[in-house]
C-alpha cells in the first residue's frame, strides 16, 4: 500500500532507450516501488496482458524486481488465470505494474475477467498502480493507440480512474505528437497529458501531482483544445529522479 495512505498512479510514457533489454530496474519503476514506502520489500504484481502474457516479459520482470528486494508475483490471464482468486492476489499487493502492448486487448480481457473492477478496488484501497505505454493509458478515459494497426487511432475505453486522455512515447515516435494533438483538437479524445519516453505522470487521487523523469531531456505536456479548433501544448516542469544505489 502507499506509504501516505493516498491513491497513487504513476503513468510512464516509455522506458528510456538502452534500458529496455538490460537487467537494471529503470528509475521510473523504482520510483513506483518507493511510493509504497515498505522499507525495501514491496509486494509487486506484474501484468503483461497487453502483450499476450508473454512469458519472457514475466521472467525479465521477476529478475529485475527481485534484485531490488521486491516480493514479485504475476497475474496471467492467457489461456486462463494462473491463480484461483485474482482479486485476492491484486488486493494484497503494494504495487501493481502493467506492461505495454495492446491497450484495447488489455481492456477487453480485463473486463471479461472482472479485473477492471478489481483494479478500481485496489486503487481505492491504496495499492500503487503503475504501468508503461498501454499500461499507462489504461488508467485514463482513453489515449492514442496502435492496437488496431500501425496507424495511431483514438482509444476511449479505458478504466477511467483518471479523467481525460494520455499519450505515451510523445517525442520518440514521430506520429504520436501530431496525432494526439489532432485527436484532442477535434474532440475524439479529451484534453490530456502526454509523456516522453523516460518521463511519467504521477497522480495523487485524480490530481496530477508532478512529472518525474529519469533523464534531463524527458518531460510531460498538457494538451488542450483551443477556441480556434486546434490544440495547445504546454510543457510541464519535470523533477529529475536521482539514480541512487
Would you please indicate which residues are annotated as catalytic (active-site) residues? 133, 169
Beta-strand ranges (E) seen in 100-229 are 128-132, 140-145, 153-155, 162-167, 192-195, 199-204, 207-213, 220-225
Count of CA atoms in the C-beta half-sphere (13 A) of 198: 17
Beta strands 162-167; 192-195: pairing state? parallel
- Contact call for residues 157 and 107 (beta carbons, < 8 A): yes
What are the two backbone dihedrals, phi and then psi, of residue 221, each rounded to the nearest 5 degrees? -145, 145
Give the angle 175-97-43 at the CA atoms, nearest 5°.
165
Question: At which residue does the C-alpha cell 544505489 appear?
Answer: 245
Residue with cell 516479459: 57
CA angle (90 as vertex; 11, 109 as ends), nearest 5: 70
- For the chain, what is the total number of helices (H) and then of strands (E)? 7, 14
The whole-angstrom separation of Cα 95 and Cα 73 is 10
**β-bridge partners, 203:** 9, 208
Amino acid at each position: 500500500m502507499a506509504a501516505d495512505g493516498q491513491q497513487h498512479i504513476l503513468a510512464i510514457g516509455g522506458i528510456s532507450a538502452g534500458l529496455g533489454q538490460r537487467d537494471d530496474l529503470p528509475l521510473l519503476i523504482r520510483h513506483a516501488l518507493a511510493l509504497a514506502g515498505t522499507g525495501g520489500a514491496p509486494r509487486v504484481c506484474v501484468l503483461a496482458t497487453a502483450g499476450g502474457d508473454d512469458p519472457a516479459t514475466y521472467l525479465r520482470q521477476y529478475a529485475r524486481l527481485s534484485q531490488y528486494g521486491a516480493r514479485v508475483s504475476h497475474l496471467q490471464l492467457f489461456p486462463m488465470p494462473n491463480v484461483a482468486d485474482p482479486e485476492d492476489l491484486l488486493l494484497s499487493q503494494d504495487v501493481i505494474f502493467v506492461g505495454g502492448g495492446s491497450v484495447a486487448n488489455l481492456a477487453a480481457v480485463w473486463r471479461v475477467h472482472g479485473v477492471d473492477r478489481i483494479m478500481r478496488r485496489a486503487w481505492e484501497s491504496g495499492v500503487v498502480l503503475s504501468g508503461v505505454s498501454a499500461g499507462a493509458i489504461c488508467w485514463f478515459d482513453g489515449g492514442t493507440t496502435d492496437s488496431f494497426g500501425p496507424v495511431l487511432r483514438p482509444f476511449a475505453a479505458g478504466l477511467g480512474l483518471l479523467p481525460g486522455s494520455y499519450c505515451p512515447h510523445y517525442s520518440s515516435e514521430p506520429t504520436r505528437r501530431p496525432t494526439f494533438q489532432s485527436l484532442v483538437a477535434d474532440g475524439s479524445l479529451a484534453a490530456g497529458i502526454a509523456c516522453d519516453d523516460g518521463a511519467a505522470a504521477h497522480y495523487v487521487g485524480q490530481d496530477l501531482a508532478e512529472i518525474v523523469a529519469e533523464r534531463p531531456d524527458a518531460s510531460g505536456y498538457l494538451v488542450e483544445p483551443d477556441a480556434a479548433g486546434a490544440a495547445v501544448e504546454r510543457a510541464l516542469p519535470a523533477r529529475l529522479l536521482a539514480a541512487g544505489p
